[in-house]
Amino acid sequence: MSDVTYIDAIHAALDEAMERDPDVFLYGQDIGKFGGAFKATKGLQEKYPGRVLDAPISEDAMAGVAIGAAIEGARPVLEMQFADFSSVAFNQIINQAATHYYRTGVPVPLTMRLPSGGTPGSGPFHSQSMEAIYAHYPGLVVVTPATVADAHSMLLDSIAMDDPVIYCEHKFLYRWLKSKDLSGDRLPIGQARITRPGKHATVVTYSAMVHEAVRAAEMLYKDGGWEIEVVDLRSVKPLDTDTIIASVARTGRLLALGEAFPWGGVTAEVVSRVCADGFHLLDAPPVRLNSKDTPIPYHPKLWSSHRPTPESIAEELRKLLDY
Amino acid sequence: MDDNPENLDQSLERNHVRRVFNAMLTARVLENKLGSLYKAGKIVGGVYLGKGQEAVSASMAACLEKGRDVYAPLIRDQAGRTAFGEEILDCTRTYLGSVKGPMRGRDGNIHRGRPAEGMLAMISHLGAAIPVVAGMLLAKRIKGELDGVVGATCVGDGCTSTGAFHEGLNTAAVEKLPLILTVANNQYAYSTPNDRQFACQDLVDKAVGYGVRGHSVDGTDMLACIKVMNEAVARAREGDGPQLVVASMLRLTGHGEHDDGSYVDAALKSSGLGRDSIEVGIKQLIEGGFASVEEIEQWQQDAAEQVQQAVAIAQKEDGPDPYKDDWMAYSNPEMQMQR
């Protein structure tokens, strides 16, 4: 059997969800005959007539339409062409979708797919990571799959969930990340995974940075036999604080790693929770590593220094281990 | 598009007219009471009234069928809510903070609804309901349940300046959805007059740009409103796509009860736009033989009793208890973080 990529996993999950439940439909720009900017919906309009709808360039209305359909009992999967453009739909997502169950008792079973994160040459407006912004709002679930199997099972779980889910899929992983098949441990949303066990320090991260963290961990193992534990959050809301604290209890050292901007965000949340609940477990001050605090640059030379790399992660880990 | 479909209801059916007026009257009596309660300090938060817009609001919602159609009322749609079939108790409980109201104290005043019954609970962001109604209709289409169904919402002149209005109406037009979008041009958005809000000659001109049918009506004229709404809703029901209805009138109150509306141009108040649609409606009922003076007086008394009762019930009920509220923002309890 040929390898399946991360984007194949997304396509397969959409296909399975539509096959399983006639209430599932897809809505987004260029997703019909064209198959979507990243081909996540290729062939689905032909297979499911009337259930894969091309939207006008109206992100705010797209989100509103998906919310209305969800209130009515359908299960819309909304594709934002890029996570960056979901800023236009921000009002509908945070004020309408996020508040609806709390206010009215009627859930909004909506999945919004956000093609997220940086790729070389994409520049400031096709590279953003929006997970922290959405995770801030009560009522939203925010997932950030890092593996092919998670991309598949977590999309199915997101679509089956009655609450609105922001599904952050990393564009850098689309075609680069491959697996033999789609099978995996099928952990539920809300549960983190120990991707690589270790005992000297913990890296808590998510999405594409899981793979960079594993590379850094391998470098340190070769360097001096350091065993670095890598925790993949899988979902940033809810955040699996138990797994994080348990890991820090084993290692005594924490690096919170993310690709998003450094002010606030997921890494700050992780550090704050570990300090509050596990201060006594720490043998060194916790460290955060994020992107630089500038817009995301276009040129590959600038971009690859803007985000954390295996080298910069390994450097932070060495400092942490030396403390 | 057929300009003269046979089954358009152009007639003024007696019971329908009486039903519209009753909703208008009940709303006025209820809103007068809400104003008094606010001034007496009995209501926490704002009070937003629809005085002057009752004819437009009620005549649209009276064409809808609860349980089948979708309705998204806005800030000045008490009359429409009543015409759609919202209980007066839903209003008084929400304004007075009863835990038994549809919002259970989690939201207040006009931010209330029963989405499971087809009536959305508005958020404060203008135009936001337009695509949501469109989405509800789209879901019905996908489920094969759209035949003969319509969705309706009402916005103000200020809303026509939002991106949400543009995106929502355009999207509904692209999907040819049976949406009735009424713009109640009450001349002011809070304190901002029309000439600082838009530059087109008439808001109904926008219909052409969106490829939808436009309707204009004098919003102070109850019978005219009934005729136009009957037509717009009937056209949407039979597949003519979105209908943009622009009704003109003057807001006969402040933006909210905290606002005296002193900025409203005196010339507008004495113009035709400043007519009270309820006074016009009473005249039309009597002259058209739809109701007698005695009947109208009786309706007024009935409305006052209903309102009094609904206020008394809500006032006796408990407010929400922070120790009993489940504080759940998610239907799936596994997703709720405790802090």
Write out pLDDT tens, residues B70-125: 999 999 999 999 999 999 999 999 999 999 999 999 999 999 999 999 999 999 99
The 10s digit of each residue's pLDDT in B170-192 is 999 999 999 999 999 999 999 99
What Rg do the C-alpha atoms of chain A give, in angstroms?
19
Identity of the residue numbered A49: P
Global pTM?
A: 0.96
Instruction: Please confirm, yes or no, whether A126 is among the known catalytic residues.
Output: yes
| CA neighbours closer than 13 Å in the CB half-sphere of residue A308 | 31
Q: Which residues pair with A193 in a beta bridge?
A: A232
How many CB atoms are closer than 10 A to CB A34? Answer: 13
**Nearest CB to A103 within list B106, B131, B143:** B106
pLDDT of residue A1: 55
Question: How high is the mean pLDDT of chain B?
Answer: 96
CA dist., res. B24 & res. B77, Å (int)? 10
Confidence (pLDDT) at B1? 39
d(CA A125, nearest CA chain B) in Å = 20
Q: Are B316 and B92 in contact (CB under 8 A)?
A: no
CB atoms within 10 A of CB A3: 11
Whether B92 is covered by a domain: the verdict is yes
Residue of A58, A67, A103 with shortest CB distance to B170? A58
H helix or E strand, kind and range, residue B218: strand B213-218
Structural domain harbouring B329: 14-335
Give me the residue from A25, A96, A101 closest to B123, CB to CB. Answer: A96
Lowest mean pLDDT among A62-66, B11-15, B168-172, B261-265: B11-15
Q: Is B322 exposed, middle or buried (0-12, 13-18, 19+ CB in 10 A)?
A: exposed
Instruction: Classify residue B4: in a domain, yes or no.
Output: no
Which residues of A fall within a CB distance of 8 Å from B174? 56
Q: Would you state the structure tokens that stand for residue B14, as one six-digit string?
A: 């007696």
B48 falls within a domain: yes
Q: B7 lies in a domain? A: no
Class of domain A4-179: alpha beta
Choose the mutation target among A21, A59, A71 for the interface with B, i.e. most B CBs under 10 Å: A71
In contact, A111 and A253? CB cutoff 8 Å: no
- Residue B41, pLDDT above cutoff 70: yes
Residue whose C-alpha is closest to residue A195's, from A212, A177, A214, A180: A214
Out of B106, B136, B332, name the one closest to residue A71 (CB): B136
Cα gap A232→B108, rounded to integer Å: 41
CB B307 within 8 A of CB B30: yes
* Token digits of residue A48: 């499911």
Ranges in chain A annotated CATH 3.40.50.920: 193-322
B268, part of any domain: yes
Per CB-CB distance under 8 Å, the chain A contacts of B133 are 68
Disruptive mutation site among B114, B126, B138 for chain A (greatest number of A CBs within 10 Å): B138
What local confidence, expressed as pLDDT, does residue B91 receive? 98
Q: What is the pLDDT of residues A191-204, one digit of tens each?
A: 999 999 999 999 99
Sign, CA torsion B149/B155/B160/B161: negative
Which parts of chain A sit beneath pLDDT 50?
none
Length of chain A: 323
User: Domain for residue B58, yes or no?
Assistant: yes
CATH number at residue B303: 3.40.50.970
Domain with CATH 3.40.50.970 in chain A: 4-179
- Number of structural domains, chain B? 1
Task: Name the percent of chain B lying above pLDDT 70.
Answer: 97
- pLDDT score for B125: 97
Please provide the CATH number assigned to the domain covering A193-322.
Answer: 3.40.50.920
A295 touches B at CB < 8 Å: no
Are B163 and A189 in contact (CB < 8 Å)? no
Using a CB-CB cut-off of 8 Å, the residues of chain B touching A162 are: 331-332
Q: Is A99 on the interface with B (CB under 8 A)?
A: yes
Give the CA angle between residues B201, B207, B209 to the nearest 5°.
90
In this prediction, residue B11 has a pLDDT band, given cuts at 50, 70 and 90, of low
ipTM for the complex? 0.96
Report the amino acid identity of residue A112: M
Q: pLDDT by residue (tens digit) across B112-150?
A: 999 999 999 999 999 999 999 999 999 999 999 999 999
**From A126, A170, A211, A306, active-site residue:** A126
Interface test with B, best of A52, A62, A65, A106 (most B CBs within 10 A): A65
> Does B301 fall in a domain?
yes
- Please give the radius of gyration of chain B, using alpha carbons only, rounded to the nearest integer: 20
Q: Is residue B142 in a domain?
A: yes
Q: How many Cβ atoms from other residues are within 10 Å of residue A286's Cβ?
A: 21
